[in-house]
Each structure stands twice: as structure tokens, then as C-alpha cells.
Amino acid sequence: MREIVFDTETTGLSFPGGDRIVEIGCLELVNRVETGRVFHVYLNPGRAMPAEAQAVHGLSDAFLADKRRFADEVEALLEFIGDAPMIAHNAGFDFAFLNGELGLCGRPLVCTTRMVDTLAIARQRLPGAKHTLDALCTRFGIDRSRRVLHGALLDAQLLAQVYVELSGGRQIGLSLAADPTPAPDDFAVVDTAVRPIRPQRVFDVPPAERERHAAFVATLKDPLWGLAAVG
């Protein structure tokens, strides 16, 4: 199964209030394994960057000035995500911005039925724990030492590992097969290849041992094999 893990960085918290996406990072999973395919762009939002937002992701007006607009990258983005489920942390936030930008471009919105929210999954499976991306990385032993500032692609890469752990751990993705055939009743597939049959072992019992065994058997009263023979 193909899935897309993604994250966005923005100028603020409200698309209706005029905030825009300034970075998108997406990576592809197939059967919960990273394939190495990514989509990553910085975007010129067409507005000034608030100081509080820059403090979160470090993206300045000067850095974004020569970057392309969302409308310039939308075709490549839509081609990359295809019709796959889309995984994000606090996914409602990222979907609101993504669909807001798509709406401005006159493009169809991404249906929210494709949305997989790892924050909701973490709250359900780990009640009472901290559910930030940093906290989940710490919980699952995922190295987040490069996460000095928020970054869409880096956060998507970390989230992909968190998602795998929330979904059952590393053992669930053992191959990149596009269409794996499950074993009946979820049992593991057993190698049924014919193996050489070992020759029967022959044990040479000395005559004295045979006589001792016969004498012992003769002392048994009403042995089961005798009753079976009578019946």
C-alpha cells in the first residue's frame, strides 16, 4: 500500500487570516517502508514573515524571496501525492492549509477521507502521555538531534518513523512488494520446498540387553498392550 507522509511550514496559524504555506515536505511509504522518493519545496508566500513564525522554522523573507509560488509547484505536488492516503501530525492543520492553497489555484481539494492523523492515533494508543513529535520520537528511540528548528521534510522523515511505530513497529514492513499476497488467516508463510529425507537410523542392541528387556517386560502385570490385544 502506498502512503504519503507530509508536513508543512507556514507564516502562521490561520489560512483564512492570510497565512500561507512556505515549505512542504512529503515522502513516500510503500507497505510502511520508506522508498526514498520525496517531494520538497520552499515557497514564496507573497507576504511578510512574522517574527514568531520565523523563530519556529527559521525561514526569512530574504530566503524565500526568490522561491516559486505554490501555484508554480502544484502540478508536481499533485502528481507526487496521487490518490494515496496522507499522513500528518495534527493533520487537520496541514490539510486546511493544503486545501486552502489548492482552492486559490482553482484545483480540486484533497478529500479529508484520505487524512491519517498521527496525533489522534497517539492520543488513542498512548493515553496520558505527551503526544508532540519530539515526545514521540523520544518514546520510540528515534534520533531527532537534527531537529533544532522545525523543517517540513525533516519532520516528515521523523513522523514516518513514528507512524511505523504507532502502527505496530518495524516488523510490519519487510519488503517493498507492491502487491504482497497475505498468508491465509495471517499465518506466516512456511517454506514447503522438498528437503532430502535422512536415512533411518539403525541401533544395534546387544543380545544381553535384549534378554534383560524381555525379562523386565515379563514382570509387568496386565500391560496395556496386552489388554488392547484381548479387546
How far does CA 179 lie from the centroid of its chain?
Answer: 17
- 143 assigned binding-site residue: no
Cell 514568531 locates to 52
Q: How far apart are CA 152 and CA 26, in angstroms?
A: 8
HSE (side-chain half, CA atoms, 13 Å) at 97: 23
- 155 assigned binding-site residue: yes
- 79 assigned binding-site residue: no
Q: How far apart are CA 50 and CA 64, in angstroms?
A: 13
- 7 assigned binding-site residue: yes
Instruction: Map residue 175 onto helix, strand or coil.
Output: coil
- 52 assigned binding-site residue: yes
- Which is nearest to 110 in space by CA: 91, 124, 125? 91
Residue 213 appears among annotated catalytic residues: no
Q: How far apart are CA 52 and CA 54, in angstroms?
A: 6
Instruction: Map residue 201 onto helix, strand or coil.
Output: coil
Cell numbers for 188, please give them. 506466516
Cell 534520533 locates to 143
- Which is nearest to 160 in space by CA: 149, 148, 174, 173? 173
Which whole-number Å values give the CA distances from 75 to 39, 102, 139, in the listed order? 12, 10, 37
Cell numbers for 147, please give them. 531537529
Catalytic residue, candidates 40, 131, 150, 213:
150
Residues that are catalytic: 150
Give the residue numbers of the binding site for a divalent metal cation.
7, 9, 155
